[in-house]
Amino acid sequence: MFCSLVLTINCIAQVGINTTNPSPAAVLDVSSSADGTNFGGFMLPRVTVAQRDAIPATMDDAGLIVYVLNGSDSQLQVWNGTTWRSLFPNSIEISTIICAWDVNGLTAYGPSPFAATTTGNGVTVEGLTRGTGLETTGTAAANTWGATGWFEGVGPDMPNDAIAENKFVTFSITSNFGVEISLTSIEPYNIRRSGTGPTTGIWQYSINGTDFFNVGTTIVWGILGAANTTTMPSIDLSGISDLQNLTAGTTVTFRIVNWGGNNTAGTWYINDISGNDLIVRGKIVQ
């Protein structure tokens, strides 16, 4: 029996299970039934996330397939040579909202953290959070999210001096299990500040929570007051390689660092316009 099987494999190069007529295009052809009455499927190796991560896969193992058991989020995954990618379930959302905030209805500077009003499928978002150096003193404008206590200085040591005193706001985005995201833009947003509030700021990002990099150049927040708020242009993120093809478990932290006010009572807000007021867009693959 063993000799016969070996000879069959060597001679025809195809192996059939439940069939005596394997496809010439297949090395292995598995039929769901041998008798047309009793049927079955092909059972792939089933592993937990920890067991999958313990597989010593290298670039030479591209094409390796497992079924990952993870409760209601179980997935069929393939090793592409560098990372595990989901085969099923799989969907692609292009230019979708990754996260967004609507400040309408907020009072007293808004909560910190302020949870995202809209969150994309397969991502976890840590809400808008005031740095420990900021304050919420005085009466806040309605329908805004922001703070007082911004850094008052100007000069060549900005924004480092403001960062050292935690004069910034942050939020973060994490891709969930089996999800890959690419960030493409921050949509136009509206800023309101008082006459003594910060005049200048910059967006930054980090993918390890420690090392931050500038997004573009410094921003002048523009003119003052409730009737003269400034709509800032869209920020293109698609050219930042660090923010593309973020695999499961990767967290991106954004922060806005502000300085240049002349009184700690000066205010700076994300202002209400229409619908969502701060929007991050991107692509979600899951």
Q: Are 263 and 134 in contact (CB under 8 A)?
A: no
Residues 112 and 168 in one domain: yes
pTM of the model: 0.77
Task: For 22-54, give the DSSP string.
Answer: --TT-SEEE-S-SSSSS-------EEEHHHHHT
Task: Indicate the residue among 44, 71, 88 that finishes a domain.
Answer: 88
- Regarding whether 65 and 164 lie in a shared domain, the answer is no
Specify the CATH number for the domain of residue 143: 2.60.120
Cα separation, 183 vs 98, whole angstroms = 8
114 and 211 both lie in a single domain: yes
For residue 24, the one-letter residue type is: P
Task: Chunk the chain into consecutive blocks of 10 residues (it has 286) and report each block's average pLDDT, rounded to whole numbers.
Answer: 40 74 85 88 90 92 91 85 79 85 98 97 96 96 96 83 96 94 96 92 97 96 64 95 95 97 93 94 90
| 107 and 79 within one domain | no
Same-domain status, 195 and 64 = no
Give Cα 113 distance to the centre of its chain: 18
Same domain (yes/no): 257, 141: yes
- For residue 219, the model assigns a pLDDT of 94
pLDDT at 1: 40
Residues 117, 239 within the same domain: yes
Same domain, 39 and 152: no
Range of the domain at 200: 93-285
Same domain, 144 and 118: yes
Structurally, the chain folds into a number of domains equal to 2
DSSP states of 190-257 as a string?
A: EEEE-TTS--EEEEEEESSSS--EEEEEEEE----SGGG-EEEPPEE-TT-GGGSSB-TT-EEEEEEE
